[in-house]
Amino acid sequence: MKPIFENDWADILHPEMQKPYYLELRRKLADEYRSRTVYPDMYRIFSAFHLTSFADTRVVILGQDPYHGPNQAHGLSFSVQPGIQVPPSLDNIYRELQDDLGCQPVRHGFLEHWAKQGVLLLNNVLTVRRGAAASHQGMGWEAFTDAAIAAINECETPVVFILWGRSAQEKGSFIDGTRHLILKSAHPSPRSADRGFFGSRPFSRTNAFLREKGLSEINWCLPESPEGLKEEGETTT
């Protein structure tokens, strides 16, 4: 079997893929992709790990599960493919980014610019059925992404964890807040953004922490035109 991860995530995640729960998840996913419409495309499930290596991870933004509309999800939390309308939650993220750092909102929702700087855009669950949010919860992805978060938590270099909403905050229960920075707020969804997301200033607070630790800051301002998508060769198996 061709290795899925060709960077340093391989040492962490390949062993995880040999565990019984993941083998069962793999079986279920094969059936789901064969019989239903599932997002993202199977060749983009692990895009977050391919674009942001373990060693380069400086920030983690944790989402719940992929967007469930056509052509939206491509393996990065909150990001959509070029040419797709910016979703409401991401539109609210752009509003907060403008208020926080003065970055002008862009007309696309493609966040690879962040991922390539060390922002791991990770969902708790990495796949979803078309039109059915949270439809792949409980299949086993949670244990897999727990393993990734646990590995980052053990890093000696401090990392910023941005946890929006209850689901993400539950995921952060085992993160060491004495070494890493944990930023919690309401989810940017229109249903909750007014309850603590707006005004939380996650972007400037992240950069202030990185600067204090002698680490490079993130350039959060996105380019006006989305960068080209790379063809990816990973599979779900």
Q: Mind telling me the catalytic residues?
A: 65
Phi-psi region of 131 (alpha: psi -120 to 50; beta: other; left: phi over 0): left
The helix or strand, by DSSP H or E, that contains position 119, with its residue range, turns out to be strand 119-123
CA distances to 78, 150, 170, 183, 221 from 175, in Å: 22, 7, 10, 11, 28
Burial class (CB within 10 angstroms; exposed 0-12, middle 13-18, buried 19+) of 21 = middle
Q: How far apart are CA 113 and CA 28, in angstroms?
A: 32
Give the three-class secondary structure for 194.
helix
Q: How far apart are CA 75 and CA 208, in angstroms?
A: 28
Question: Is the CB of residue 180 less than 8 Å from the CB of residue 158?
Answer: yes
Q: How far apart are CA 50 and CA 37, in angstroms?
A: 23
